[in-house]
């Protein structure tokens, strides 16, 4: 009897993991790091420790609210995809009740108000826009309507960079704008690589990701071309004040991603697509790390 009850009623720790999974915290942490990179590369007065913490956690919480809304809104289609069918709302482990919208709205409102109060209004605007573009523009408006869904939805990451840059200088200089451009160009080859690996899932769910619309071979060539464009753009900050550490990170990470994307274009398969996806994570990780170090030592 005790075993059966334990099966029906998950433990408190399991339920906490379910709830945390709804908020896509791993993505949120990455978005938070991009905001801190935007802050680090922007010349200007130093922020206080409190301002740093408020900016970091506000971006994390706004991203978490958008991630939760994505799962709340998409739970039925998530059931049709192998990659997402085990999400808490999709399995029924958590019920998508209206109360979740209250939690999501409170997280977003709290993050925007905190940034406005402790940092500045321009940074708060970008914190809001990052969540809005992922939750509404991408999830609600574009995901099922256009293969450009992830291109425009990728502005969510760019707004995080701009939130960090605006925290130092609301007028936002060229380094902040260029790093935001890099994040905008990074999202398509990153996500399209994953979409090639999971093409059948997206086709079954009726989501017009690029590989579903044009086929995996052509999509793989687009991934390679967009990766080259991304890497070229990632080098531009070196001409606007970014130092040698940043440039080294951009070159090494960019070269790695190009090699992986080239293999995908030459031999499209799930394995090479996942290799390209992994390459995108390495490229962004090295770039953000180098940007942070470069900003600290300048």
Do both 77 and 199 map to the same domain? no
pLDDT 10s digits, 126-158: 999 999 999 999 999 998 899 999 998 888 889
Choice among 12-16, 29-33, 132-136, 251-255 with the minimum mean pLDDT: 12-16
CA dihedral 173, 170, 283, 192 (to 10 degrees): -110
Do both 177 and 133 map to the same domain? no
Q: What is the CATH number for 163? A: 1.10.357.140
Domain boundary among 171, 202, 217: 171
- Considering the domain boundaries, does residue 84 fall inside one? yes
Domain boundary among 151, 171, 191: 171
Range of the domain at 89: 18-171
Do both 114 and 248 map to the same domain? no
- Considering the domain boundaries, does residue 277 fall inside one? yes
- pLDDT band at 297; cut points 50, 70, 90: confident
Distances (CA, A) of 117 to 73, 111, 113: 30, 10, 6
Do both 43 and 144 map to the same domain? yes
Do both 163 and 179 map to the same domain? no
Task: Determine contact, residues 115/127, Cβ cutoff 8 Å.
Answer: yes
Please give the sequence-ordered ranges of beta strands (E in DSSP) within 90-241, or none if there are none: none
Do both 195 and 155 map to the same domain? no
277: its two tokens: 């996806």
Do both 45 and 177 map to the same domain? no
Other CB atoms within a 10 A radius of the CB of residue 280 amount to 27
Domain boundary among 127, 151, 171: 171
Task: Determine contact, residues 104/65, Cβ cutoff 8 Å.
Answer: yes
| pLDDT at residue 16 greater than cutoff 80 | no
Residue among 179, 133, 190 at smallest CA distance from 36: 179
Task: Determine contact, residues 198/81, Cβ cutoff 8 Å.
Answer: yes
Distances (CA, A) of 141 to 55, 152, 153, 255: 28, 11, 10, 35
Do both 24 and 150 map to the same domain? yes
The percent of residues above 90 in pLDDT, for the chain, comes to: 72
Q: What is the CATH number for 280? A: 1.20.120
- Considering the domain boundaries, does residue 97 fall inside one? yes
Q: How many domains does the chain have?
A: 2
Do both 112 and 193 map to the same domain? no
| pLDDT at residue 8 greater than cutoff 50 | no
- Considering the domain boundaries, does residue 65 fall inside one? yes
Higher pLDDT, 225 or 83: 225
- Considering the domain boundaries, does residue 8 fall inside one? no
253: its two tokens: 């990470």
What are the φ/ψ torsions at residue 242 (nearest 5 degrees)?
-70, 145
- Considering the domain boundaries, does residue 13 fall inside one? no
Look up the pTM and report it.
0.91
What are the φ/ψ torsions at residue 41 (nearest 5 degrees)?
-85, -10
Please compute the mean of the pLDDT values over residues 199-213 and round it to a whole number: 91
- pLDDT band at 7; cut points 50, 70, 90: very low
Do both 27 and 143 map to the same domain? yes
- Considering the domain boundaries, does residue 2 fall inside one? no
Do both 62 and 166 map to the same domain? yes
- Considering the domain boundaries, does residue 185 fall inside one? yes
Do both 40 and 25 map to the same domain? yes
Task: Determine contact, residues 59/123, Cβ cutoff 8 Å.
Answer: no
Q: How far apart are CA 198 and CA 235, in angstroms?
A: 31
DSSP letter (8 states) at residue 139:
I
| pLDDT at residue 36 greater than cutoff 60 | yes
Non-local (6+) Cβ contacts of 123 within 8 A are 55, 115, 116, 163, 164, 166, 167, 170
pLDDT 10s digits, 88-121: 898 888 898 999 999 999 999 999 999 999 999 9
The percent of residues above 70 in pLDDT, for the chain, comes to: 95
């Amino acid at each position: 009897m005790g075993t059966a009850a334990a099966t029906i009623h998950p433990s408190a720790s399991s339920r906490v993991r379910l709830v945390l999974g709804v908020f896509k915290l791993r993505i949120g942490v990455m978005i938070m790091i991009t905001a801190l990179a935007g802050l680090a590369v922007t010349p200007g007065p130093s922020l206080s420790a409190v301002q740093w913490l408020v900016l970091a956690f506000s971006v994390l919480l706004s991203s978490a609210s958008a991630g939760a809304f994505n799962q709340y809104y998409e739970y039925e289609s998530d059931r049709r995809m192998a990659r997402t069918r085990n999400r808490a709302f999709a399995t029924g482990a958590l019920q998508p009740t209206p109360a979740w919208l209250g939690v999501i709205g409170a997280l977003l409102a709290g993050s925007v108000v905190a940034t406005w109060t402790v940092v500045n209004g321009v940074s708060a605007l970008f914190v809001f826009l990052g969540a809005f573009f992922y939750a509404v523009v991408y999830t609600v408006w574009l995901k099922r309507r256009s293969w450009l869904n992830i291109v425009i939805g990728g502005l969510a990451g760019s707004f995080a960079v701009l939130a960090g840059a605006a925290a130092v200088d609301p007028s936002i200089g060229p380094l902040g704008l260029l790093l935001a451009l890099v994040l905008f160009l990074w999202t398509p080859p990153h996500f399209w690589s994953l979409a090639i690996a999971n093409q059948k899932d997206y086709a079954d769910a009726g989501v017009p990701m690029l590989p579903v619309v044009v086929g995996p071979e052509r999509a793989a060539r687009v991934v390679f071309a967009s990766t080259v464009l991304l890497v070229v753009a990632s080098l531009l900050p070196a001409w606007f004040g970014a130092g040698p550490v940043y440039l080294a990170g951009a070159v090494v990470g960019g070269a790695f991603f190009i090699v992986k994307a080239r293999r995908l274009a030459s031999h499209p398969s799930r394995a090479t697509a996942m290799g390209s996806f992994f390459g995108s994570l390495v490229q962004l990780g090295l770039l953000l790390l180098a940007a942070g170090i470069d900003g600290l030592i300048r």
